Structure 1
Amino acid sequence: MVAITLKGSCTVRPCDPTWIGTMALSELDQIGCLTHVPAIYLYRRPRSSATAISETLKESLSKVLVPFYPLAGRLQWIGNGRLELQCNAMGAQFIEAETESRLKDIGDDLSISSQHPDLFPSADYSLPIHELPLFLVQLTTFRCGGFSVGIAISHAVADGPAALHFVSEWARITIGETLQTPPYLKKSVFRAGEPPLVSPSPPTLDDFPEYGIPALLLGQSDTLEERKKKTTTAMLRITKDQVEKLRKMANDSCEKPMTRGFTRFETICGHVWRISCKARGHKKEQPTAMAICVDSRSRIRPKLPREYFGTATFDVIAQSVAGDLMLKPLGFVASKVREMIEKVTDEYIRSLIEFLKNQKELREFQDIHYELRKEEGQFYGNPNITVVSWLTLPLYGFDFGWGKEQYMGPGPYENDGSSLLMQSPEGDDSVVVAMCLQEAHMDEFKKLFYQDLL
């Protein structure tokens, strides 16, 4: 683990006046992951001094926070597990640190997040939520002159596509260019802040059974014991040929009529789900669920622009029993994944919004309560898993004026069952799977993960 020394912290506010007021959040902004999502960029030694880099990043951050002013605001609870966004120009937190380590000491083998967590800024969830910055950045300079830019963005304000849009514009402004594409801030398509529609039969849990209580381990009545168990993260690379081998296995073994072959996402999701069941040693009758993150931008009508700034992603839940996943072919498992993804139509999205608007409380649909008060909140650990895809996101090539990054990666993964799929930085169509499991299950998972790929 890299030993760092904190040099200081300051608040960076928008450099020009921004709109001040209360912004209503949509129901999609307020479910699922409400904590900060971290990522990191490593850069080789530039010609500029550490002080010059710091001042340049602060100045450009103050500029980019003008069009992206929601990130300079603060969240506020308004009752019933619901939030609103106070656009008040309170600003982002900028942390400066240094280390005697060199970039070569930490390498770029995709294990940075789990082995060097101190390179990432972290929100202090013991504070009231209205005191938490929505965007944090940590600039860490290394002995060799290289540096890292660790970021953390509140998922209640920006999902993956929105966050990367922000970072790309920040980099562009840092090198002296103008804003290329402003964020699309209108949330009217999701009826943000509006009451439920008057309907003789509003959607209920019967219409969305997947949003009920997640599957529990047989013999357990809650998730408390599973939450206490130590976890570890592995970064597993699948080559292009191995991806195609998995897809062929899935396509050849699918029992349902198909109009097109399985995507790499559907295939890898199915592979990860069935292997996790085997590694965890589930009984055949063990219920299990997979939460699959879906982006609604292209699925709602009319379509949302790619630059929609907010959270347009949400989880759909595929369910089965472990015996079927472990004993039936990969095509069966991939078809369960496809079935849930294809369920997300314009009608489904709008119905889901109405379902959520009719809930008296949103706490059970959120993960942040465990971080805030260590109480029950949304948890998809053993016997369940979650999958988030960064496969189509523009992850690489961010140049703040000192060259493109040497490495980009996600932040620490500590929640049992959480997985992330991302494209390889080499651009060779290989896929990296970041998987977090309980320590007791990880060795078996890694062994079984590659068993069918050799």
Structure 2
Amino acid sequence: MVVSYKSSYTVKPAEPTWTGSLSLSEWDQIGTITHVPTIYFYPSSQKLLIDTVITTLKDSLRRALVHFYPLAGRLRWIGHGRLELVCNAAGVQFIEAESQSKLDSFGDFSPSPEYDFLIPSVDYTIPIQELPLLIVQVTKFQCGGISLGFTISHAVVDGQSALHFISEWARIARGEPLAVSPFIDRKLLRAGDPPVLSRPILDHKEFNHPPLLIGQTNNIEERKKKTAVAMLKLTKSQVDKLKNMATNKSLNTGRPYSRYETIAGHIWRCACKARDHKPEQPTALGVCVDSRSRLQPPLPPGYFGNATLDVIAVSSSDELISKPLGYAASKIRKAIMTVNDEYVRSGIEFLKSQADLTKFQDLHALGGDDGPFYGNPNIGVVSWLTLPIYGLDFGWGREVYMGPGTHDFDGDSLLLPNHDDHEDGSLVVALCLQVSHMEAFKNHFYQDII
């Protein structure tokens, strides 16, 4: 694909905003602290006049940044692997581009290397205090359609907050008022506060390094192996079959297993089979849990920041493969159920007590090899099933497709509602695995549904 980059702007808030240093919470500063990409495609229509589109997006973005002013700031290292957010209205980057390709050439819009030309890249050789926290690229296609690519700093927002911003930006573009104002103050998660030494700290397995392949002392070689991405669709019937498999052949006496618990367990088992692990191989599954409603009191609507934490379920490959699906689902449920007010606040204190946070950060994109890595023999499953990811209308109608950008970390997976039939219970698994394991995974993924 050939993409011509026409111009690049710095878009700043339309009005003066608060300036100063904003402390980040511990959840903001661990895990992925780089930018996360997403992309929307819009078909050609009479309303898609590119000059009007550009003007509308830039003007509404300026107004949106008045409310979401932290996104117009910059991060700054303050030592010991810790960051703070400098609110200085430096602005976000806005790129205009054109392509002679047509939307039809993308087929089912499965992520491909071509997305790299449509989603802004981030040059991490630039000092972090100079990097925009949000970069937007609008690309016009020969057919008249457009793509809207975002990349947004995960050190500033999680998925819930990112979608909150994007949806409110679209409302402003349509001439509507904000639905929910952002809650900026991160003191509710004790951002910037010293540790409370008297608070008991629970056992947080998620902060330990995940299991390594038997016989290896690090995961550097695993990181180097070539990966591939697949979009695997599950119909509602297939989802229901898996849920029945998990619930009917397990010792679970409570509520039936959820879609997430079931599908994540299925992915975990299939990955163990595809990777051909030794029976005694330990393996972990990372679960991203939103703590907003689990805290007491719950965080306010519109809390703008990271409020998710990763917990892990751990087992052996043999146990996962030899036992019914309900065993894997039960391990995942147990991990999720640990996340309550006490556990979240204990995790905060644990991190506050650390001399340096670097070992808890995934610095792969920044050129480092430290930090967590959910590759072979581990896997991570993130759910977007309950997030309002579809229906983004800036005034010219809803997207024809929305999805994640390219990702190349072995073991990354994402659950999304099926865009075309997202109300019928069908879903899509966006999965990244080593090339040598992908075909075997696909076979197990569908053949094991009985």
TM-score by length of 2: 0.97
Cα deviation code 1:5-36 (max 9, x no counterpart): 11121110001000000000000111111111
SS at match of 2:232: strand
Q: Which amino acid aligns with 1:76?
A: R
Cα offset, 1:114, TM superposition:
4.9
After the TM superposition, which residues 334-345 of structure 1 pair with which residues of structure 2 at under 5 Å, given as runs? 334-345=329-340
- Following superposition, the deviation at residue 163 of structure 1 comes to 0.6
Residues 106 and 112, structure 1, Cα contact 8 Å, conserved in 2? no
Instruction: Give 2:449's aligned residue.
Output: 453
Residue pair 2:361, 2:371 contacting (<8 A) in 1 also: yes
In structure 2, do the counterparts of structure 1 residues 110 and 271 end up closer, same or farther at CA, with 3 Å as the change threshold? farther
CA distance in structure 2 between the partners assigned to 1:245 and 1:227 by the alignment: 34
Q: Which residue of 2 aligns with 1:424?
A: 418
Residue number in structure 1 paired with 2:19: 20
Match of 2:285 in 1: 290
Task: Report the equivalent of 1:385.
Answer: 379
Contact 1:229 1:438 in 2 (8 A): yes
Q: 1:189 and 1:269, CA in 2 relative to 1: closer, same or farther beyond 3 A? A: same
Q: Which whole-Å CA distance do the structure 1 matches of 2:79 and 2:240 have between them?
A: 49
Per the normalisation by structure 1, the TM-score is 0.96
| Regions of 4+ moved over 3 Å | 112-115
Matches within 5 A, 1:129-148: 129-148=128-147
Pair 1:195-2:189 in alignment: no
Contact kept? 1:96, 1:139, Cα under 8 Å? yes
Aligned to 1:373: 367
Match of 2:72 in 1: 72
CA distance in 2: counterparts of 1:434 and 1:261, whole angstroms? 24
The alpha carbon displacement at 1:310 in A equals 0.2
Q: How does 1:24-423 map to 2 (within 5 A)?
A: 24-47=23-46, 48-107=48-107, 109-199=108-198, 202-203=200-201, 207-255=203-251, 257-367=252-362, 369-423=363-417
| CA displacement 1:244-268 (0-9 Å, x = unmatched) | 100110101112x422110010000
Identity, in percent, stands at: 56
Q: Secondary structure at the match of 1:450?
A: helix
Residue identity opposite 2:308 in structure 1: T
For residues 357 and 175 of structure 1, what CA distance do their matches in structure 2 show?
42
Instruction: Read off the aligned partner of 1:57 and give its amino acid letter.
Output: L
CA RMSD of aligned residues (A): 1.3
Q: Which amino acid aligns with 1:129?
A: I
- 1:202: Cα distance to partner? 4.9
Structure 1 spans left out of the alignment, 5+ residues? none
Letter in 1 for 2:261: E
Contact between 2:31 and 2:371, CA under 8 Å: does it hold in 1?
no
Aligned mates of 1:195, 1:113 — CA distance in 2: 45
- CA distance in structure 2 between the aligned counterparts of 1:387 and 1:306, rounded to whole angstroms: 25
Q: Is the 8 A contact 2:37 2:149 kept in 1?
A: yes
Corresponding pairs, count:
447
- Give the drift of 1:431: 1.1
- Deviation digits for residues 271-299 of structure 1, max 9, x if unmatched? 00010000001000111111100000010
| Secondary structure, counterpart of 2:165 in structure 1 | helix
**Does the 8 Å CA contact 1:113/1:413 hold for their aligned counterparts?**
no
Separation in 1, partners of 2:273, 2:206 = 23
Task: State the alpha-carbon separation in 1 of the partners of residues 81 and 97 from structure 2.
Answer: 36
Q: Is the 8 A contact 1:284 1:322 kept in 2?
A: yes
Aligned 8 A contact 1:3 1:100 in 2: yes
d(CA) in 2 for partners of 1:46, 1:17:
36
Q: Is the 8 A contact 1:113 1:410 kept in 2?
A: no
Alpha-carbon deviations, 1:348-380, whole Å to 9, x = none? 01111100100111111111x222233322211
Q: Give the deviation of 1:102 after TM superposition.
A: 0.7
> Given residue 86 of structure 2, which amino acid in structure 1 is its aligned partner?
Q
Spell out, residue by residue over 1:361-408, the C-alpha distance to the aligned partner (whole angstroms, 9 max, x if none): 1111111x2222333222111110111100000111111111111111
| Counterpart Cα distance in 2 of 1:314 and 1:322 | 25
Q: Is the 8 A contact 1:226 1:381 kept in 2?
A: yes
C-alpha separation in 2, matches of 1:42 and 1:451:
32
Q: CA deviation at 1:180?
A: 2.1
Deviation at 1:113, TM superposition (A): 4.7
